[in-house]
Amino acid sequence: MFSLIYRSKVRESLDHDAIQALMQKSSRFNAQNKITGCLVYHDKNFIQLLEGNEKKVRNLFGKISKDSRHKDIVLLNLEENNFPLFSKFSMIHNNFKDLTDQVRHKRMLFHEIFHAADIVRSPGSSKLTLWAQVNSLLNIEDKHAYSNM
């Protein structure tokens, strides 16, 4: 199980429809190619974890790297893992209009992800913990993940 993590900056803000379109196309392609992981979008930044067959993940990253919707792409981590962290491909993004505890927690998590690239860069347990947190947040949110966008 090969995993790849990168971060990038959005070129122009993506509106609801643009996010929806990106997510729908990505989910379909990734499911067909047994690629799991997560795309996090926050404050004009992306961070994405892709996991699956090495060739497929590298090919997809090649396409993503050429996508004009984002820039300043930085590869953070390439790793071989025994198991996938995510059971499917999902996207998470923040909606600051909603200030429930859950959203506050999410905001903290985003800051942790985007301002702790060193954690993401290093192999091992701290990185796993970080993605595990993202994962649990996604599970809580799954039922209204799309309505939240």
Ligand X SMILES: Cc1cc2nc3c(=O)[nH]c(=O)nc-3n(C[C@H](O)[C@H](O)[C@H](O)COP(=O)(O)O)c2cc1C
> Could you tell me the smallest distance in angstroms from the CB atom of residue 99 to ligand X?
26
Q: Hey, what are 15's tokens?
A: 């509106």
Q: Is 48 in the site for ligand X (CB under 6 A)?
A: yes
According to the binding rule CB under 6 A, does residue 64 interact with ligand X? yes
Binding of ligand X by 71 (CB under 6 A): no
Cα distance between residue 33 and residue 10, in whole Å: 25
Q: Which H or E run contains 26?
A: helix 16-32
Instruction: Confirm if 38 and 49 have CB atoms less than 8 A apart.
Output: yes
- Six-digit token string for 119: 């954690």
Between 1 and 105, whose beta carbon lies closer to ligand X?
1
Q: Is 2 in the site for ligand X (CB under 6 A)?
A: no
- Count interface residues toward ligand X (CB under 6 A): 14
Shortest separation between residue 102's beta carbon and ligand X, angstroms: 24
Nearer to ligand X, 3 or 26 (CB): 26
Q: How much is the CA Rg of the chain, to the nearest whole Å? A: 14
Paired tokens of 121:
């860069």
Under rule CB under 6 A, residue 135 binds ligand X: no
Q: How far apart are CA 87 and CA 121, in angstroms?
A: 22
40 is a site residue for ligand X (CB under 6 A): no
- Is 81 or 126 the residue whose CB approaches ligand X more closely? 81
Query: What is the DSSP code string of 83-118?
Result: S-S-SSEEEEE--TT--SHHHHHHHHHHHHHHH-HH
- According to the binding rule CB under 6 A, does residue 60 interact with ligand X? yes
Q: Which of 5, 38, 39, 120 binds ligand X (CB under 6 A)?
A: 39
Which tokens go with 37? 């992981």
The binding site for ligand X (CB under 6 A) comprises 22, 25-26, 29-30, 39, 46, 48, 60, 63-64, 67, 69-70
